[in-house]
Amino acid sequence: MTQFPSCFEDPDDTRAAIMKATYDALCEHGYSELTIQRIGDEFPKSKSLLYHHYDSKDELLLDFLEFMLDQLEGQMPTYRDGGADEHVEEIVDQTFGFGDLETSTDFTRAFVELRAQAAHDEDYREYFTRSDQFVRKHVAHTIRSGIEQGLFQDIDPQETAAFFQIVFAGTMTQRVTSNDDVLEAARSAFERYVRECLLKTE
């Protein structure tokens, strides 16, 4: 997700409108400065609807994260039109492109703040555990399919998926928490891993 999520372009029901307002307020204020009042300022309908559906900021944010995971599950690119090797290239592009555009940097920063809540909040930890498991399941399926297609070496799909997922989380955190410009070098090393340890050479 490197640009404004398409699901927010024209929200078609109250929940989607609440989620868009949450997204806008989260990008503007970040987690620590976010309040239901500020979300309400972005909400085109009555603010009382927010207080009717949610008792706290974190309850709303956890529903927002569930909404985003549902969107991810529905929009995750597939490799039906090509081989698993092409799909892995797309995954690498998304991994190192997450948050690299001005339109998504604020959200990436806020998303990292939300993930940090999992260090002390079990509800956030449970969500991010499921989110990570979804990413690994998708990547493992791609790796397994690539092996079956004769495109990938006979490696462990689960271990490889875990590596991909850790790189994704680390890349996202590095982008918004450090001024060190190391992502280009990291991408070069990761692409070398894909070429030498994943792709099967003829």
What's the CATH number where 19 sits? 1.10.10.60
Minimum mean pLDDT range among 52-56, 118-122, 177-181, 198-202:
198-202
Q: In this structure, are 136 and 184 located in the same domain?
A: yes
Average pLDDT, the chain: 87
Note the pLDDT tens digit of each residue in 133-162. Answer: 999 999 999 999 999 989 999 999 999 999
In the predicted structure, residue 118 carries a pLDDT above the cut 60: yes
Residue 70 within any structural domain of the chain: no
Q: Is residue 65 part of a domain?
A: no
Average pLDDT over residues 7-35: 89
Q: pLDDT (tens digit, 9 = 90+) per residue, 160-194?
A: 999 999 999 999 999 999 999 999 999 999 999 99
**Domain holding 140: CATH number?**
1.10.357
> Greater confidence, 103 or 63?
63
Residue 35 clears pLDDT 80, i.e. is over it: yes
For residues 89 and 191, is the Cβ–Cβ distance under 8 A? no
pLDDT greater at residue 115 or residue 2: 115
Domain residue limits at 52: 7-60
Fill in the amino acid letter for 75.
Answer: Q
**Among 153, 159, 142, which Cα is nearest to 198's?**
153
pLDDT of 98 > 90? The answer is no
Looking at the domain assignment, is residue 69 inside a domain?
no
Give 114's Cβ-side CA count (13 Å radius): 33
Q: Give the pLDDT band (50/70/90) at residue 3.
A: very low
Domain count within the chain: 2
Contact of 38 with 29, CB cutoff 8 Å: yes
Q: What is the pLDDT of residue 72?
A: 80
Residue 24 three-state SS: helix
99: pLDDT strictly greater than 60? no
> For residue 1, what pLDDT band results from cuts at 50, 70 and 90?
very low
The set of long-range contacts for 51-60, using a CB threshold of 8 Å and a minimum separation of 24, is 53/18, 58/117, 58/121, 58/123, 58/124, 60/18, 60/22, 60/36
Q: Are residues 56 and 106 in the same domain?
A: no
Express each pLDDT in 39-96 by its tens digit: 999 999 888 889 889 999 999 999 999 999 988 877 665 555 567 878 888 888 878 8
Both 99 and 192 in one domain: the answer is yes
